[in-house]
Amino acid sequence: MRRRPAGDVWPDDEMSAETGLPLEGVRILDLSRVLAGPLAAQVLGDLGADVIKIEQPLGDPVRAMAPPAIGDTATYYVSVNRNRRSVIADLTTPAGRDLVKQLASSSDAVVENFLPSQARALGITAIREALPEIVWVTVAPAAAGGPLDDEPAFDLLAQARSGLMGVSGTDASGPMKTGAPVADVVTGLYAAIGLLAALLEQRTTPGTPGRRIEAPLLESAVTILINQTAGLLGAGAVPRLLGNDHPSIVPYAPYRTSDRDLVLAVGTEPQWRRLLEAIGAPELASDPRFVRNANRVVHRDELRVALEAVLAERGCDEWISILGSFGVPCAPVNDLQSALDQPQIAGGDLLTEVMLADGSTTGMVLTPLRVDGVRPGVRRRPPMLGEHTKEIMAAMEGQQ
């Protein structure tokens, strides 16, 4: 993407050569830790980029976030650290900072998630300022210049501060976080998008300085509430705790059948009429409480009672078969194992097995992206701490 500078010391990764992937030849230096930053680097690595992960002597804290673990390896670490090499650099020392600067100067982009005060103390800010031609992505707790920009942040805190917890849960449960780290994931994806946009600009406009991209966790989490914020800012509609119900569409939620929950996603009036035909309840079509979606939103509780009285007559799988024949969008509520076992996933290519450094094997979820019909795989398993330090240092010394 960028012309290799004089004094290039980055040792190319043979496993990232001749892959045919769109980011082949792109070099990413990953200084980040835990989830959002490493996920951004993993997205790029999956698409062919050559990624070197810099770790402090104690390693990325996510290595110790167990249980669960596979042997001595936390599954949390495994989930976001494939397709990269690991190098130890002690940023508290001049030698460590010099190593990072050398690798950064030969990279196309850097990803880091240090607090501003940490970045200054560890020399990261100075390295960034000395390399204006390098795309630099900072995964921040909150946007720079605000009162929270130097406060430690985690997915849970972002879900709480952003209002996401405030629209999740019910009156009985109170506010709840989601069951997955969605704030971290969305922030990591924004970071990858920003990095790619900056690299594209450099490729299409030679001589363009490296952009400084900021992907703040709090602001990214706020964007998750896309329709809820639009309702509040545009119409003054204050969200309330609706559990699994949709604020603007009914029926669009799980409903009880005779054995387990069935999700109905009836988003249009034709779908509503087909639903009533499928379940044999045409009388609900003329009920003034349910004639249009706006009425159904107001009377969602009464409609739930009416629908579940009918749905209780059959099991979930039987209803899915019936509703599918009428073109009514619906789905079972799967636990994670059931989700992975469903034919679309189990019979596809999203899951793979990877052998870790200790010889044990683990299942892994690959990127959801396909490139020309092929899903990129695992070129490198998640590395051990500092696994590639010696070979990369030796290669660098040989090029100097």
Give me the half-sphere count of Cα atoms (radius 13 Å) on the Cβ side of residue 94: 0
Closest to 21 measured CA to CA, from 352, 364, 348, 366: 366
Closest to 165 measured CA to CA, from 181, 149, 176: 176
**DSSP code at position 13:** P
Residues listed for the chain: 400
Q: Across the strands, what pairs with 365?
A: 351
Q: CA 382 to CA 35: how far, in whole Å?
A: 14
| Distance, CA of 159 to chain centre | 14
Q: Across the strands, what pairs with 252?
A: 265
**DSSP code at position 164:** S
Residue 105 falls in which region: left (phi positive, over 0), alpha (psi -120 to 50) or beta: alpha
Q: Which amino acid is residue 141, in one-letter code?
A: P
**DSSP code at position 9:** -
Closest to 203 measured CA to CA, from 291, 109, 293: 109
184 tagged catalytic? yes
Q: CA 180 to CA 317: how far, in whole Å?
A: 26
Q: Which amino acid is residue 100, in one-letter code?
A: V
* 3-class SS of residue 158: helix
Tokens of 347: 């019979």
Q: CA 377 to CA 183: how far, in whole Å?
A: 25
Q: Across the strands, what pairs with 263?
A: 254, 331
**Cα 208–Cα 30–Cα 138 angle in degrees, nearest 5:** 60
Place of tokens 């009918």: 310
The active-site residue out of 30, 108, 149, 184 is: 184
Q: CA 68 to CA 34: how far, in whole Å?
A: 15
What residues act catalytically?
Answer: 184
